[in-house]
């Protein structure tokens, strides 16, 4: 068994990472504009002021998508480009850009999959308290309605939020991502709760506002543990470590997902965070738990585990010299089998991989091409494991490679290259990498070529 006939093959990006035009046509500032201006916050002082200049070169980029054979494109909307102050006044020029982009995609037979929030929080709302403000979920719902009223006649597929573990953990706990806050546990947990409320209210707004039947999903990081050998004991250990909360960390799954799918926080998390829990309002969980159509997962790597002598999951360290990407993430294709399998088992929805890929050492060779053989091998290994999950009966809706273009990689600036397409940041020139053409052949065969 291979992938289903209507399997969605695509690539993904995020607005701040590629658009540029940070101050054009009435766009407001985001927290990433703010933090990129702080000396030392981003490597080498890089910013997203220009990025890939997608704002001006979107037609060229859509032509490239068509050449790659993409069936879908996962894009995000810049909240401050649409609402410069975060609420209230609408910037029509910002919406016009997304009008043009969506129309261009559809004219080229590419379905837009729109993420409402991929980290570029409006600076004006941050100054009012951001995710800590009790009205923050209503702000997000207003933004969602604004976008849906404009685009939902053509956009059928929506994601509310991307990787809450990152924008809430790295952004509000360690301070390494925008907005650069190092909150205490109580304040951080309040921000998480408000963000979950925002997700629920956004789903409600989409259901109420959409001008056609639509699909709505959520796209957290799928932090995956997998059994070092597939014995029943080790599989259970992988399950326990994937869904357990055994330390007060933001790198976890169930605190961000159980409320969305079960309408409650996990019991082990409530015990772990008991000294810092915010006061929840009656009815909060009813708002957060809204029916979704599928679960998006961003999975890049996993952790091998086994059942330890004490009966608890035991992490098996990778051997010296184990393959790693340029970001020093381990190459663990098994994560794209076990992740979808375990998350579907727990939450019961079809799975879509919304991000997967690697940063590699890519440059344009003397022959004018980009020979990224490691990316081809990486994607080949991961997609074979993903196909194995399909063969085992896990309902898989699609796969979005991260990323379409080399781009601004947040705090790493332009030092990491994840794209299927090379970008020369001096002049914006695009060069499709060997992996892009390889991916096209995979799409053409619906994965049978793997």
Query: Is 402 annotated as ligand-binding?
Result: yes
Q: Which of 104, 163, 385, 416 is catalytic?
A: 163
CA-nearest of 69, 104, 113 to 296 is 113
C-alpha torsion 428→434→436→439, nearest 10: -170
Count the neighbouring beta carbons within 10 Å of the beta carbon of residue 130: 22
Q: Which of 19, 104, 334, 355 is catalytic?
A: 355
Q: Between vectors from CA 51 to CA 50 and to CA 54, what angle results, nearest 5°?
A: 90
Query: Is 162 annotated as ligand-binding?
Result: yes
Residue with tokens 């054009």: 24
163 a catalytic residue: yes
Region label for 330, one of left (φ > 0), alpha (ψ between -120 and 50) or beta (otherwise)? beta
Count of all residues that appear for the chain in the document: 450
| SS3 letters across 398-438 | EEEEECCECCCCHHHCCCCCCCCEEECCCCCCEEECHHHHH
Query: Is 409 annotated as ligand-binding?
Result: yes
Distances (CA, A) of 153 to 96, 206, 264, 442: 14, 12, 34, 31
Query: Is 314 annotated as ligand-binding?
Result: no
CA-nearest of 367, 365, 364, 372 to 427 is 364
Query: Is 253 annotated as ligand-binding?
Result: no
Query: Is 108 annotated as ligand-binding?
Result: no
Both tokens assigned to 334: 């098994």
Q: How far is CA 29 from the centre of its chain?
A: 21
Query: Is 118 annotated as ligand-binding?
Result: yes
355 a catalytic residue: yes
Active site residues: 163, 355
Binding site feature residues for substrate: 17, 118, 162, 300, 402, 409-410
């Amino acid at each position: 068994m291979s992938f289903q006939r209507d399997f969605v093959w695509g690539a993904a990006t995020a607005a701040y990472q590629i658009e540029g035009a940070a101050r054009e046509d009435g766009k407001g500032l985001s927290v990433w504009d703010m933090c990129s201006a702080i000396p030392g916050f981003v490597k080498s002082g890089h910013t997203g002021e220009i990025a890939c200049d997608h704002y001006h070169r979107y037609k060229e980029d859509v032509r490239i998508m068509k050449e790659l054979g993409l069936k879908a494109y996962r894009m995000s909307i810049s909240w401050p480009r649409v609402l410069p102050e975060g609420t209230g006044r609408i910037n029509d020029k910002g919406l016009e850009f997304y009008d043009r982009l969506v129309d261009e995609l559809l004219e080229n037979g590419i379905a837009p999959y729109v993420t409402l929030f991929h980290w570029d929080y409006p600076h004006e709302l941050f100054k009012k308290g951001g995710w800590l403000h009790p009205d923050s979920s209503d702000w997000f719902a207003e933004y969602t309605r604004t976008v849906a009223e404009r685009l939902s006649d053509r956009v059928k597929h929506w994601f509310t939020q991307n990787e809450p573990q990152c924008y809430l953990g790295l952004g509000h706990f360690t301070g390494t991502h925008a907005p650069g806050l190092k909150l205490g546990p109580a304040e951080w947990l309040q921000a998480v709760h408000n963000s979950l409320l925002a997700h629920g209210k956004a789903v409600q707004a989409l259901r109420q506002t959409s001008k056609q039947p639509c699909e709505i999903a959520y796209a957290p990081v799928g932090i995956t543990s997998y059994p070092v050998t597939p014995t029943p004991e080790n599989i259970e250990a992988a399950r326990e470590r994937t869904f357990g909360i055994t330390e007060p960390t933001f790198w976890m799954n169930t605190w961000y997902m159980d409320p969305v799918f079960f309408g409650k926080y996990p019991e082990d998390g409530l015990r772990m965070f008991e000294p810092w829990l915010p006061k929840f309002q009656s009815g909060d969980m009813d708002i957060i738990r809204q029916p979704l159509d599928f679960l998006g997962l961003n999975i890049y790597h996993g952790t091998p585990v086994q059942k330890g002598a004490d009966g608890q999951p035991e992490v098996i360290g990778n051997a010296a010299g184990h393959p790693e990407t340029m970001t020093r993430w381990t190459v663990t294709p098994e994560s794209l089998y076990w992740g979808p399998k375990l998350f579907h088992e727990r939450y019961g929805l079809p799975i879509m991989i919304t991000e997967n890929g690697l940063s590699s050492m890519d440059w344009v060779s003397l022959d004018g091409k980009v020979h990224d053989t490691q990316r081809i091998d990486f994607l080949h290994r991961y997609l074979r494991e993903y196909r194995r999950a399909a063969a085992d009966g896990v309902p898989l809706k699609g796969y979005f490679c991260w990323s379409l273009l080399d781009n601004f990689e947040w705090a790493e600036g332009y030092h990491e290259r994840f794209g299927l397409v090379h970008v020369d940041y001096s002049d914006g020139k695009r060069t499709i990498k060997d992996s892009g053409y390889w991916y096209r052949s995979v799409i053409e065969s619906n994965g049978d070529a793997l």
